[in-house]
Amino acid sequence: MTTEYDYWKIFPRMPKKVTIGDITVRDGFQHLEKFISTPAKITYLEELIFAGCRNIEVTNLGNPRNMPQFSDAEELLAHLRSDSFVSRAAKKGIDMKDVTLTAITIREPSVDRAVALKKQGRGPDRVLMMVSTEEQHHFANSGTTLPNYWKEAERCIQKCRDAGIKMCGTVSTIWGSPIGGATELKDAVKFTRHWLDIGASDIEHADHDGSASAPDVYRYFSMILDEIPDTSLHIAHFHETKRVASASTLAALQAGICHFECTLGGLGDSRPIFWMTVPSKAPGTIIMTTPGMSVWCAWKIPLYKSMKWV
């Protein structure tokens, strides 16, 4: 029976089903002090796919000199595109054409690398570039100004379109910048619209340093869905830096967002014990927290067994 206290009457945009994208092997491992072995990364990626995940950030195609954790980027992509793995997945009822593999490509050389790999049959389905609404933060992250970056992004989107690769446009410093301070929510809405105008396939709305508060998250995503109501275009990404991402996640959900990102083991929150080399197949569990490094909900997942993705 519906009453004035019904949750969906209070929050009419809140979805009853969400899409989860896993970013463990990329964002989760990115800042670990030790190199996670390639066989271990492959195991994570395989088991995530076998468990039911259909949207996975595999790696970063930036210069491995600056990001040694991703020096095996091409090897990971090649493995997931290999006939042997595609065949193994098919035996489990999984068509790899239904799995979207994403690689981070902040600058144009990385996009060119993704396009070259795609032509070789081992590239990503989707890549990601990122802008910050605050100029100083954007320059620190990308090494160029916003006007120059927008021009570069437009070229890259065309290259990706020609190669059959989707481009995700990320908007950061929505709720504030650790360098420049306070920011305006309306600027992030404008940046989101510009990404879509130049051809981005979807938008990641990111709180990369835990600046967001639940009221401002609800306010922002309400503004976004008023302006651009197609929920398939929007992804929420929160870091648990200041222990408020759970509240931010709930606020985004209440506002109507239905696509979130997550990591295994709560990476970005408390540091879990992770396989550094090749994991054994002994009984055990993995704790999955979702989305985007926040402790929102958790499942105990028996190793090498399926889990439900909602």
**pLDDT tens digits, one per residue of 209-239:** 888 999 999 999 999 999 999 999 999 999 8
Distance (Å, whole) CA 309 – CA 286: 15
- pLDDT tens for 136-184 read 999 999 999 999 999 999 999 999 999 999 999 999 999 999 999 999 9
267 or 151, higher pLDDT: 151
**Six token digits for residue 133:** 């609404």
- Helix or strand or coil: residue 200? coil
Question: Which helix (H) or strand (E) covers residue 300, if one does?
Answer: strand 297-302
Distance (Å, whole) CA 229 – CA 222: 9
pTM for this predicted structure: 0.87
CB 152 within 8 A of CB 105: no
Assign 7 a pLDDT band (cuts: 50, 70, 90). Answer: confident
Question: Which helix (H) or strand (E) covers residue 298, if one does?
Answer: strand 297-302
> Residue 211's pLDDT is what?
87
Give me the percent of the chain exceeding a pLDDT of 70.
84
Assign 290 a pLDDT band (cuts: 50, 70, 90). Answer: very low
The predicted model gives 106-127 an average pLDDT of: 98
Give me the percent of the chain exceeding a pLDDT of 90.
74
How many residues are listed for the chain in this entry? 310
Indicate whether 262 pLDDT > 80: yes
Give the DSSP letter string of 65-131: TT-GGGTTHHHHHHHHHSHHHHHHHHHTT--GGGPEEEEE--SHHHHHHHHHHHHTT---SEEEEEE
Tell me the fold of 15-302.
Answer: TIM Barrel (3.20.20)
- pLDDT tens for 245-259 read 889 999 999 999 999
